[in-house]
Amino acid sequence: MTSDMRAATTGTGLADTPTIVLVGHGMVGQRFLEALAERGLTATHRVVVLGEEPRPAYDRVHLTSYFTGTTPDELSLTDREFIDRHGVELHLGDPVTAVDRRARTVTARSGLTVRYDTLVLATGSFPFVPPVAGRDATGCFVYRTIEDLLAIEEYARAGAATGAVVGGGLLGLEAAGALKGLGLATHIVEFAPRLMPLQVDEGGGAALLRTIENMGLTVHTGTGTQEILTGEDGAVTGMRLSDGTVLATDLVVFSAGVRPRDQLARDCGLPVGERGGITVDERCRTVGDPRVFAIGECAQAADGRVYGLVAPGYEMAGTAAATIAADEADRSSFTGADLSTKLKLLGVDVASFGDAHGTTADCLDVVYADARSGTYKKLVIGRDGELLGGILVGDAEAYGTLRALTGSVPPVAPEQLVLPAGSGGPAQLGPSALPDEAVVCSCHHVTKGAVRAAVTEEGRTTVPEVKKCTKAGTGCGSCVKVLGQLVDAELEAGGIEVDKGLCGCFAQTREELYEIVLALRITSYRALLERHGRQGSRDGDGCETCKPAVASIIASLAPSIGADGHILDGEQAALQDTNDHFLANLQKNGSYSVVPRVPGGEITPEKLIVIGEIARDFGLYTKITGGQRIDLFGARVEQLPLIWARLVDAGFESGHAYGKALRTVKSCVGRTWCRYGVQDSVRMAIDLELRYRGLRSPHKLKSAVSGCARECAEAQSKDFGVIATAGGWNLYVGGNGGATPRHADLLAQDLSDAELVGLIDRFLMFYIRTADPLERTSAWLERIPGGLGHVRDVVVHDSLGISEELENLMAAHVANYRDEWAETLGDPERLARFVSFVNAPDTPDPVVGFVAERDQIKPDLPLLTLGRRPLEGSASR
């Protein structure tokens, strides 16, 4: 779009037309224009918009998605068609510099002067930069606009290796995620004693901290920034914190909050709040001048607050438009707003709603916390059982339902609302439990009843159609999941088939895509998208949902469809996450773990010596895992090929600790050594692990073989477990440990070796064929229609007549297995990726450091100096 989407005129033919001038074209400004259009005011008024930024309104809430591939055009909230259809005169890159309330004119930087009958200020806010020495140095940025992001990206890619974010609130964590995504070792500095202090309490902050530190980011809380350090060229070289810590960093992003942009109001004599913000009444009119309105982050509402969320801004926009239209049918007023919010920060779900901190007198807390999974849930309950608010960290699945229930007494006990799914928790209380008057979209105040009416009365059959009709889900987006569930439930209740497609790119389910790939021998994601993607998606790049799902399907079927199968080749490499990308698990300080396969836990002295020599020579931390392997921690990315070259020479292969594949088959010593053993469990475990090694699946797979009913290998907590009996082997399926343990179910008993292997072949391939993306066998077994009985019918009794096909697919995998690391070492193109910095391949990452502990190493992280107990690195069993 051009900087002037419609040329403004100041005279002929418009003298008698009332003029509305909007200063600022952000999210709230665009919502105001839409509200004017809905009320027909764009047909009766001249509407002039003057914006400071060089581009039209865009989605600032999802700004960080730019770093994951979303283009500025895709973030845009308007287009030429809307502007032209409603006759809006839009001037971009031309901020207003003066308001003359007596003459009722605004003057822009270009000299353009426009007379107004009604003036609406939607100037938003500006980033607060603490008054520290060096804050204007080269390499210091704020995080507010697309232009800011472009500048950060350019500077980071010019050679920066380390970045620091000042501020651990919403935008601060988003900025940290952006720096991490750019490949920078990242620090977060927050003056408060916890991250996101306004949204979460101490327990939620602790859960968030653990999860973020496990991602490799370094967090400093309870300390401020004292000084930005610079080199002779004036560029950032580090920062000194108020606790005396000095951080080496090449780039600093200030994200320490925002302040209302109210200078125009101050200059023209409009009242502002003591802490900033243009003072307005409940109709969003400025105090002292009814012709001037203020909406969004620049305004101090009638309750004395400045709201920094998009939902209150949208509500203010609607209120102002209704007031200007003198809409008697809409006497809405703005006296306060719901501050509920749900975000995904650094991949972590964080949500708060209602009275999240329990400020209401005589209330009670119901808390569920699981430090292992980084999950924290707190509900604030009134003495009468009313749900007052809550905080969710790590698992915000129930946010939409819980927020909508706020202010009422839930139909189930509070503790059930915080338990994990499958334990009587939120999965049993979905949106269908909400009353029609419950608000499901706080941004646009859309109720469940309005969503239902859009489906049943107006014939809307998809979420996009309902969003367009009701505007639900078009604000912050946190209600979209609930919206989809409501639409599906209403359609199904009316006997209408619901779209079960994998995502917006594919109308097929994962199971259907599996069948297509297998039947048509499609060997690339691009080919599948072009031939079978939804109309409109075939020329795109796909999404984060379908890319890894299709990559997994192609990898699991590679031998049968003629695909190469190596995950670091061509298109497949671009579909992998960090762990698969480097064939190793990323640890919290930016180093990697090395996990060679040790089938059944059995290893020779010679191989033990090799592992010991490698650990000694590269200075690695060694640990025996619960899966009977030896993990080597602390390898730098450029060391991985050197380490694996020695391991491969010694006969080791990849343990696939990084992939959605078979991890281990654990075993006891069996009858060979144990006086209770009735079968050779070690031999069976080795046979099974070597058979299924490298098998890519929807989620990781774990197994175990116990030599007798004493169950020393804990086989009944595995995806498939085997227990020896006097008559052969019993096969158990669908178990798992972790945050939501599930006991495996008996599938068949007293099997011979051949029968056991055949049933496991069928079970695994049936699971891979029919499971949803990232669905463990435990969840799949509970979800699949018919449950265990159906799986037994298919796998044991061949009720679908596909047993031979499933066995052949597995046979193809076994016959074509190739070790990923052995093949990588022989390919210079694949090896080229194993560097810390692409533009400086010989430079090791300076942030990856270690200190001694118990005669080994551990990550050298600043958090250790703050009196916190260090967390264990991620498990690689």
C-alpha torsion sign, points 524, 530, 533, 537: positive
547 and 660 co-located in one domain: no
Partners of 441 in the β-ladder: 446
Is residue 848 assigned to a domain? Answer: no
Say if CB 761 and CB 745 are below 8 A apart: no
Domain that holds residue 311: 19-126+260-324
Amino acid at 84: D
The domain spanning residue 55 has which CATH number?
Answer: 3.50.50.60
447 and 548 co-located in one domain: no
- pLDDT number for residue 875: 37
Say if CB 399 and CB 442 are below 8 A apart: no
48 and 96 co-located in one domain: yes
d(CA 471, CA 317): 14
φ, ψ at 867 (rounded to 5°)? 80, 15
Is residue 501 assigned to a domain? Answer: no
**Separation in Å, CA 638 to CA 217, 506, 578, 842, 857:** 20, 38, 14, 9, 19
Reduce the secondary structure of 19-77 to three states and give it as a string. Answer: EEEEECCCHHHHHHHHHHHHCCHHHHCEEEEECCCCCCCECCCCHHHHHHCCCHHHHEC
d(CA 261, CA 206): 33
d(CA 733, CA 780): 11
Which residue ranges of the chain lie beneath pLDDT 50?
Answer: 1-13, 422-427, 862-877
Please provide the average confidence, as pLDDT, over all residues in the chain. Answer: 85
Question: Total domain count for the chain?
Answer: 6
174 and 47 co-located in one domain: no
Domain termination residue (choose one: 790, 815, 840): 815
d(CA 279, CA 262): 10
- Which string of DSSP letters, residue by residue, matches 705-759? EESSTT-TT-GGGSSEEEEEETTEEEEEES-B-SSS-BPPEEEEEEE-HHHHHHH
Say if CB 424 and CB 416 are below 8 A apart: yes
251 and 268 co-located in one domain: no
73 and 31 co-located in one domain: yes
Which secondary structure element, helix H or strand E, spans residue 162, and what is its range? Answer: strand 162-166
Question: pTM of this prediction?
Answer: 0.56
Sequence-distant (≥ 6) Cβ neighbours of residue 455 within 8 angstroms:
461, 466, 487, 490, 491, 494
365 and 477 co-located in one domain: no
d(CA 694, CA 654): 8
Domain termination residue (choose one: 815, 836, 863): 815
Tokens found for residue 146:
């697309």
- pLDDT number for residue 286: 96
Kindly give the interhelix angle for 510-520 and 753-770, rounded to the nearest 10 degrees: 110
- pLDDT number for residue 873: 33
> What number of helices (H) and strands (E) belong to the chain?
28, 39
Is residue 856 assigned to a domain? Answer: no
The domain spanning residue 750 has which CATH number?
Answer: 3.30.413.10
Is residue 109 assigned to a domain? Answer: yes
668 and 781 co-located in one domain: yes
- pLDDT number for residue 740: 64
Say if CB 684 and CB 697 are below 8 A apart: no
Sequence-distant (≥ 6) Cβ neighbours of residue 263 within 8 angstroms:
none
623 and 744 co-located in one domain: yes
Reduce the secondary structure of 104-137 to three states and give it as a string. Answer: CEEEECCCCEEECCEEEECCCEEECCCCCECCCC
Q: Work out the end-to-end distance of the chain between its first and last CA atoms, rounded to an integer number of angstroms.
A: 53
Considering only CA atoms, which of 503, 517, 583, 597 is closest in space to residue 555? 517
805 and 689 co-located in one domain: yes
Is residue 877 assigned to a domain? Answer: no
For 127, how many CA atoms within 13 A lie in the half-sphere containing its CB?
21
The domain spanning residue 343 has which CATH number?
Answer: 3.30.390.30
Partners of 666 in the β-ladder: 704
d(CA 792, CA 202): 47
773 and 685 co-located in one domain: yes
Domain termination residue (choose one: 324, 348, 373): 324
Residue with tokens 């392997």: 629
Other beta carbons within 10 angstroms of residue 612's beta carbon come to: 12
Is residue 284 assigned to a domain? Answer: yes
Give Cα 518 to chain centroid, integer Å: 31
Considering only CA atoms, which of 613, 612, 621 is closest in space to residue 585? 621
Is residue 862 assigned to a domain? Answer: no
Name the DSSP letter for residue 311: H
Condensed to tens digits (0 to 9), the pLDDT of residues 664-682 reads 999 998 888 888 889 999 9
d(CA 597, CA 657): 9
244 and 265 co-located in one domain: no
- Which string of DSSP letters, residue by residue, matches 572-616? HHHT--HHHHHTSEE-TTS-EEE-B--GGG---HHHHHHHHHHHH
Condensed to tens digits (0 to 9), the pLDDT of residues 521-561 reads 898 888 999 899 988 777 777 787 888 888 889 888 888 88
- pLDDT number for residue 162: 94
Is residue 636 assigned to a domain? Answer: yes
Say if CB 172 and CB 255 are below 8 A apart: yes
From the number of C-beta atoms within 10 Å of its C-beta (0-12, 13-18, 19+), residue 330 rates as: middle
- Which string of DSSP letters, residue by residue, matches 618-642? HT-EEEE-TTS-EEEEEE-GGGHHH
